[in-house]
Structure 1
Amino acid sequence: MHTTIWKEVDAPLLAKVRRSLTAGRTGNRR
């Protein structure tokens, strides 16, 4: 299976989305 590849791609993608959400929330709050 391609679990390793998916995990490697999902990790950075999730981090980017989470970071974007946090940044957007912080920006809106500011």
Structure 2
Amino acid sequence: MIEILSGIGIAFILLIILSIAIFISVDKNR
């Protein structure tokens, strides 16, 4: 159970970092 929660947490953090990186790249292109 703990392993699953930690895996979801890591995936969630990676998703946030990816979305922020995309947002910054789109913001720079304007």
TM-score, scaled relative to structure 2: 0.74
Counting aligned pairs with the same residue, the percent is 10
| Partner Cα distance (1:22, 1:6) in 2 | 24
Count of aligned residue pairs for this structure pair: 30
| Partner Cα distance (1:3, 1:27) in 2 | 36
User: How far is the alpha carbon of 1:3 from its aligned partner?
Assistant: 2.5
Kindly report structure 1 stretches of 4+ aligned residues shifted beyond 6 Å. none
TM-score, scaled relative to structure 1: 0.74
